[in-house]
Amino acid sequence: MKISKIEIIDYNQFKNFTVDLTYPKGHAKEGLPLDKVCFIGQSGTGKTTLLNLIRAIVSHGLIEKSYMNENMRDILVESYFDNLKQLSKIDKGNIQNTLFSDMQMDWQQRFQYLLSYYSESNVSIIFPAEINTDFNSILSDEKEKKEIIPLKNQQKEVFLSNKIEIDVEKEFKNKIFDFEINNVKTIWDLILEDIQKYKVANLSFRSDITNKVQSGELAPENLILELNKWNEQNPNPLKDLAEKLNLILNKFNLEIKAEPDFKSAEDLKFIKVYQKNGGEIPNNYWSTGTKQLILTATPLIKLNTDKSIVLIDEPERSFYPDIQQEIINFYTKLAPNAQFFIATHSPIIASSFEPWEIVELKFSENGDLVQDLYFKGERHVENYFIQPQYLRWDSILNKIFDLEHDGNPARKLKLSELSEKGLKLKQLKEQGNANPELMKKLWEEYKGIAELLDWKIEMQ
């Protein structure tokens, strides 16, 4: 599923708001839904609201949350399942109808189609801004505390009449990975299921083969041969995960080892991280950036995302600018066939997007919420006059994030001081009989301020 258009008639700050989420004219993918979308704008403009709206549409009414309320009305969303067009409508917090425009389907047929469509892929992966990084809850053995909330009564009756409600809810529960409303332990058990099974089997095999050597049943010289044979018959699922995560972890001087390194059941619980060429770092001692990377990238690596929608709120959290600069490309390469929706405050994150992939939300003079367009005239690739990926960071802050100043207010004071000293140097030089010691002193002060301001100056 990929979303191509959102139209909001009246919901909170959104009034007669429409956003086109397709590639513009002149693009090789003209008219097709965008592969990735970036929502930017001041706090309160509705970035997270749009993510939650998409979240509701993607769940097809199966998940009810506080963001689905009676104020959410007259909202139309156009999306595609391969070549099949879908028009969804939300009114009074309910997805009242979902119509496939090219095919007449009742509720039962529609969900039978959806389950067939997502037979291999997952529906969505959702990362809130406050993703849970508490390893006590991730590694806890407690039973699941939160279930997906059932359908509203009017929808429930429709499903009961078709006798498919339980199957649909069960299937979609296992295909929607929401890191805000799902139980953390359960969701990670599903994601790492194959790795955990491999670890248990490997640990059991090593124990058995060691016992055989000790009992004389297996000759010590055949130990390596048996280990290699077992590894050939049981591919290590940790290897692919390690190779992909290490692309970024190595920049933190960290790594995940592809080769098994566990000796007890305690080692089976989660991924193990090591200092590069060093010892293990326990889970609870990971930096916030390490946690953020592993807990967001691992689901994209381990889950089938061929037809998924991925929502990420504030991906810049805990990442240094050099990682922010490449994290979006990293994510999209991990899930090349998914559609990404990102909400951010970071100019570095925004620079990873083409101008037609950015939806900048801002308030007009009369207080209405609008999209700030980066093109003039026809929506054509050649008519875009702002290209974030080509701008300097200060230009992005000025042209896209609307910062009026070129730095901290303290910079303005230093610029004034620099100007005064420059003028005084000029006056003394024009006098011709200036005190050389005074000139030298002023020049050193001038150079010092210029260096603080990152100005390049020529020797005089």
In this structure, are strands 176-178 and 124-127 parallel, antiparallel, or unpaired?
Answer: parallel
Torsion of CA 295, 300, 301, 307, to 10 degrees: 160
Q: In angstroms, what CA-CA distances link 102 with 32, 76, 85? A: 17, 17, 7
Percent over 70 (pLDDT), the chain: 84
Taking 70 as the threshold, does the pLDDT of residue 102 lie above it?
no
* Gap between the Cα atoms of 222 and 358, Å rounded: 60
- Nearest by Cα to 33 from 340, 348, 319: 340
List of residues 6+ apart from 66 with CB closer than 8 A? none
pLDDT level of residue 134 (50, 70, 90 thresholds): confident
Mean pLDDT, rounded, for 441-457: 83
Q: Name the β-bridge partners of 73.
A: 10
pLDDT level of residue 146 (50, 70, 90 thresholds): very low
List of residues 6+ apart from 76 with CB closer than 8 A? 5, 6, 7, 9, 87, 88, 89
* Gap between the Cα atoms of 348 and 317, Å rounded: 12
Q: Which amino acid is at 227?
A: L
pLDDT tens-digit map of 169-208: 677 678 899 998 777 888 888 898 898 888 888 888 988 9
The pTM of the full predicted model, rounded to 2 decimals, is 0.84
Domain range list for the chain: 2-183+304-399, 193-289, 409-452
pLDDT tens-digit map of 43-61: 889 999 899 889 988 887 6
List of residues 6+ apart from 259 with CB closer than 8 A? 236
Q: Please state, rounded to an integer, the average pLDDT across all residues of the chain.
A: 84
Architecture of domain 2-183+304-399 in this structure: 3-Layer(aba) Sandwich (3.40)
